[in-house]
Amino acid sequence: MPQWVTDGYQEYARRLPRDCSLQLTEIVPAKRGKTGHAEQWKQDEGKRLLSALSEQDHVVALAVEGKPWSTPALAAELAAWQQRGQDVSFLVGGPDGLSAECMARANQLWSLSALTMPHPLVRVIMAEQIYRAWSLLNNHPYHRA
């Protein structure tokens, strides 16, 4: 990832307290070549994504068909996740999206936008939005309604 992505993600991740920390786990993308096809690559990536999850994780998949949460709605989701006491894992698919198995494993689907975004930007946006939701729940001055 470009340095601006790492810096952007780290900026918001470090602002969060221990009880709402972010841990990034990168999955190696499928090797693309002259052989194979998009569905095969998506399945390969899906297997690696699913193997990184714990059975106890609450899984939120990022998908265009997911629910587009406002900041207050995301804050409410964050509060609910924290009350459950489970780890929350966010799945972000590769260029071909998430496999059907990943979508089936998801407890929730979240849409950041109807737009297609590059993965580096999604990483930074997610970290910022989670920090913003946390700041709203904790009456921190970062979020201004």
116 annotated among ligand-binding-site residues: yes
Annotated ligand binding at 117? The verdict is yes
Angle in degrees, CA 119, 55, 59, rounded to 5? 35
- Taking only the tens place, the pLDDT of each residue in 103-145 is 999 999 999 998 888 888 999 999 999 999 999 999 998 877 7
For 67, which DSSP code? E
Q: What is the pTM of this model?
A: 0.91
Tell me, what's the pLDDT at 113?
92
93 is in an annotated binding site: yes
What SS3 state is found at 24? coil
Q: Is 94 helix (H, G, I), strand (E, B) or coil?
A: strand
User: Does the annotation place 54 within a ligand binding site?
Assistant: no
1: Cα separation from own chain's centroid = 16
User: 42 near 63, Cβ under 8 Å?
Assistant: no
DSSP assignment of 25-66: ---PPPP--SSS-HHHHHHHHHHHHHHTS-TT-EEEEEEEEE
Is 85 in a helix, a strand, or coil? Answer: coil
Q: Please, what are the domains in the chain?
A: 1-13+57-139 (3.40.1280.10)
4-41 pLDDT tens trace: 999 999 999 999 999 999 999 998 877 777 777 888 88
Tokens encoding 40:
């095969």
pLDDT of 95 reads 82
CB of 42 closer than 8 Å to CB of 97 = yes
25 labeled binding residue: no
114 marked among binding-site residues: yes
